[in-house]
Chains A and B, each alone.
Chain A
Amino acid sequence: MQAMEVEAIPNSKRSPHDVLEETRTAMEEIAAKMLFIKKDGRPKSDLRELITQMSLLLLSLRQVNRSILMEEDRVKVETESAKAPVDFTTLQLHNLMYEKNHYLKAIKACKDFRSKYPDIDLVSEEEFFRSAPEDIKGKVLASDAAHDLMLKRLNFELYQRKELYKLHEKLEQHKKSLLDTIANRKKFLSSLPSHLKSLKKATLPVQQQLGILHTKKLKQHHAAELLPPPLYIVYSQLLAQKEAFGERIEMEILGSVKDAQIFAQQQANKDSGLSSNTENNRLEEDAPDEEEDVQRRRKRPKRNQVKENIDQAGVCQIHPLKIILHIYDDEESEAKPSKLITLRFEYLVKLNVACVGVEDSEEGSDNNILCNLFPDDTGIELPHQAAKLYAGDSLAFGERRASRPYKWAQHLAGIDFLPEVPPLHECNEALSSEALKGLDVAAGLSIYRHQNRVQTILQRIRSRKKAQMALVEQLDSLMKLRWPLLAYGDIPWALHDPLCTLQNCSSSELIPDSSSFSAVVVGQVAHVIDLDLDRRSVTSWEVESAREDGELPTALPAANSPDDSKVTMANGSSEHVEHSRSLALITKSVTPSKKVKSRVLRKSEDDLELILDSDSELEEHTCIDQEIENVRVGKPWEDHAAKEFTLILTRTYENERNAKLNAKVKISTEYPLRPPLFTLSLLSDGPQGFEWYNELRAMEAEVNLHIIKVLPLEHENYILAHQIRCLAMLFDFHFDARHEKRKSTSIIDVGLCKPVSGTILARSVRGRDRRKMISWKGMGCTPGYPC
């Protein structure tokens, strides 16, 4: 517009810029004319004109210039005033744009709004119209109908939802209460078992009363399932024997079932593992041991002992379950049979060995009662090679261990069904052959039953225990220096009242065990034999020289040897005689009121008396050599845990002389199957021991061998009593006739003689060995001695 105005002006008048242009051009023409004149040299007069023109032109130029500037100022002002409304409108525009954007954004947000429950749609229009309450429907909220409808619908929705929420709350409440009741009932349920248990417990007395041990049986059976296979066999077979034949035994399973379960799990894990190497196993199991070890070490300063114990425990790890077996007397028919013995069966897991011990042994000697139940079964050594190898030499089942691995226990446990592997290979196999064992056991059980093992072993244990009880009884009576009583009377020695007295009865120490047998006994024997040789100074009879023919005679200048022995013997015995004589006097004066003595005295006249033994050393040394010569080396197991005691029988004669018979009795654990062995020697005051040698041996043979054949089996438990009474009778007899001068014996033989002394009929001696002939009264003759 301004431009139009500016242009309008020149249009009306001529624009100053044009004027400026014309002026300029006019000036340039004049300047050019002036320049031309100057060049032509024309006179200056011409120029004057031109200068005036020129000055005119300059004036006009300045005028124009002023008008131009003026014009410019005017345009500027005009522009200034026009700018303000333009700015205002621009601002308005911006505001509107902003508003618009805001709305767009809000719209978008509304559109984008997601409900918490997107799947629940708004209530449909129809439904709205159908079920909306009037107060919502009737209100008019907006002018726009659609919008109004929408709002109403939304309100309805809101209303509806609130209602529903309330309902939900209510339901929740209900649910909670229901849960509470459920919990209560559950609590009740869980408390039920304990109630039942107590109920069960309460029934126990009733069960006991009625004899239906249901609960206990169940429990035991459950425990039995966890037993290791060998013990399981023991248990099941014993149970079978008990149920089938009414055997009087009771079994219990002791130990914690939990431990057994853990153990069984361990075992199962071990089996399932592919590499069941011994070494791995050992490593695994050594580790906890070591930990324990460390712990204990911290606890106790005595670590040496503890460690040893643990090492031992490692090898002979005992299965947590044990079987207790009570054996009752089977003879009595009463309701309550007496308990004979209680055994404990254990199982050494690592060694695969079953051990047996006497459970309630108060006295230590009872431990040996199970030794040699069957021949060669001392229980000191492990029965299998496998176990031996595994355990090494460290393990010793000596006196201190109550339970030992007897062979019969293995047989009872069915362990012998394991194939005997050559000793070099079996070390590894012994552990991994559990499954194998199972099969074998199944196959072998029929043989097991066929062999009646359970019955055999039970019977053996029973008879062993009874024999031991009988033996203790007899020994007690002997220790009190009383003749043991005989129940069985149909034998001559039962009718014979001993004329001699029991002077002394002392038990020697136990014979050394065969565990230490090889070393100790041999040492002793050698020692004693040396002693023997020294005493008698007779060259030893050398075994190794038996073959060498060219050897010089093992002879010696014998002139001094018999003399020597005689001198020592005579010295010893004469001393002894005096000593014992004085002793006898002393005891006589000091203890006149002794009951035993008076009893004995009453029984016979003054020719016998009880002399309390005081000093056995003197007596012993005279008989040492003879005893040792009698040593016969039997199998070492036979002597295991054998008891030995010494009896001294005394007979005093009218002429104040007395004869003493020293009887060393060895009772092996196999009593009475292996009868006690008597070794006799004479402590007589007679000068010569050899004179009586044959008589003593004959008496030994009679006591050790022949009367055993005469004795009926049912009395064999009292064999010791019989032997001692028989010995007393033989002693009476053999050392009786000796001192009365023999009247010329009748030539007529025994059968025709009148009885001489009342009980025994005798022709003095017979045969080349000059043995006494004895015919029993009431029994007919003895089977001809010695066979």
Chain B
Amino acid sequence: MPEMARCPEGGGGGDARNWDEEGYRKSILRERELHYRTVFRTAFAPSLNPTPETLIVASSDGSLASYSISACISSAAQLVHFNRKIDEKPVPDYLLAEPLSMIQGHKGPAYDLKFYHVGGEYLLLSCGDDGRIRGWKWTEALNSDVSMGVQGNDLKPLLDLVNPQHEGPWGALSPIPENNAIAVNEQEGSIYSAAGDACAYCWDVETRKRKMVFRGHSDYLHCITARKSSNQIITGSEDGTARIWDCRSGSCTQVIYPEKNHKLKDCSWVSSVAIDSSESWLACGTGSGLSVWSLLSCECIFSSDCCAPVQDLQFQDNQVLTVGSEPVLTRFGIYGVVLSQIKCAPQSAFSISLHPSGVVAVGGYGGLVDVISEFGSHLCTFCCQGMD
């Protein structure tokens, strides 16, 4: 019958003629699920091309998906045009982007991803709530079939590292602590992970063994970054401190209290740390703001109190880009001046990633990714598709 073709585009349900209540219920929940997903990390895929091509997104359903930026830009333009025509809605309905490829990376949220350069090839590393670090060959991951990917691609990881469990009284094992962030040091062949059991771990890529455990924080770790020039790592923790560790000895060389000179707040944590390209400046994002330290003199350069907690930050030359639980991307100068604020799509942003060309991708709540050009205009905004 011809009118069968007129089924609502929602997918599930149909109408009185071919009613599928289960399907409709599922489609509603799926739609809601899309709205409640969070993008925890975005990363530009390495390429020789000076303009950004591909964006990898790690989101709260544990998926790692890659999106073509140019495709998103063109379809976003179409979508906006389309919306304009039909009904002049001023609130944009975000484009639901079609991924190039998708890997079911983790059970539970995937928190971080990094590229590891070895022997002319790139490894795509990711970590997540299941306490694993996994690595795939980037070329294989990119070429994995999309249609398969939607069903959950079980591409075998080259690398699969699991955090240790703690043993309690009577041999009870704790759950596997999650990995909140990873950092890499290719010269040493190491992967550093910031785990939920307040430890940072150093893994050897070749042997896949744990080389070092960094103990000292009193609460779980949020972030980690590697200072390659001096073979150090810097971690930020829920306990409100950032620590600098020596990778050779595994001992803590310095404890930084970014909140120390603030009036006492009972809630504070270090959500993100970043160092600049010269590895002499350290920026810590905390529950109440941002503080920048000089690593050479170990002094606080400035400390700025934002109204919203900072959730990720990046150095761009001598500026600091921060995002937090408000829908703006803030650009600080090195001496603490707010240079600009750009409104971005996610209401709460968890990830900021920088392409060498100056393009910035912001990912966050709602499964939204906002790609902002080096001039501050929005190249495209899309909502990531989830796993089924």
Contact = CB atoms under 8 A, between A and B. Distances in A.
The answer on A and B forming one complex is yes
Contacts, number: 260
A706 to B, nearest CB: 8
Contact of A551 (B325, B340, B377): B377
Interface string A721-752: 00000000000000000110110110111111
Interface string B16-32: 11110100110011001
5 contacts: A553-B340, A558-B330, A697-B348, A752-B168, A767-B180
B37 A786 contact: yes
Nearest to B217: A747
Contacts of A764: 219, 238
A635 B328 CA distance: 27
A562 interface: yes
B174 A751 contact: yes
Interface string B200-244: 000000000000000000111010000000000000001100000
Interface string A366-397: 00000001111100000000000000000000
Interface residues of A, number: 93
Interface secondary structure of A, over-half rule: loop
Contacts of B117: none
Contacts of B341: 538, 555-556, 558, 561-562
Given A546-B377, A549-B375, A749-B175, A451 B88 contact: no
Contacts of A416: 1, 3, 17
B306 interface: yes
B24 A741 contact: no
Interface centre among B17, B60, B345, B379 (most CB of A within 10 A): B17
A700 B35 CA distance: 10
Interface in B301-348: 306-309, 311, 324-328, 330-331, 337-345, 347-348
Interface string A195-223: 00000000000000000000000000000
Nearest to B13: A375
A584 interface: no
Interface centre among B38, B88, B331, B365 (most CB of A within 10 A): B38
B191 to A, nearest CB: 18
B165 to A, nearest CB: 8
Size range of the interface on B?
35 or more
B61 interface: yes
Given A554-B377, A690-B326, A787-B61, A770 B172 contact: no
Nearest to B3: A416
Contacts of A554: 342-343, 376-377
A673 B21 contact: yes
A384 to B, nearest CB: 11
A525 B90 contact: yes
Interface centre among A629, A742, A750, A766 (most CB of B within 10 A): A766
A125 B198 CA distance: 156
B380 interface: yes
Nearest to A744: B218
Contacts of B373: 549
Nearest to A708: B29
B25 to A, nearest CB: 6
B109 A767 contact: yes
Interface string B340-378: 111111011010000000000000010000000101111
Closest 8 CB pairs of A and B: A553-B376, A690-B308, A555-B340, A701-B36, A749-B174, A693-B325, A558-B341, A787-B61
B91 interface: yes
Interface in B75-106: 76-77, 80, 87-93
Given A376-B8, A688-B307, A629 B327 contact: yes
B2 interface: yes
B375 A545 contact: no
A453 B80 CA distance: 39
Contacts of A518: 87
Contact of B198 (A538, A705, A747): A747
Contact of A769 (B8, B10, B38, B340): B38
A768 B375 contact: no
A561 B341 CA distance: 9
Interface stretch (B134-142, B264-272, B274-282, B292-300): B264-272
B178 interface: yes
A752 B376 contact: no
A465 to B, nearest CB: 16
Contacts of B73: 546-547
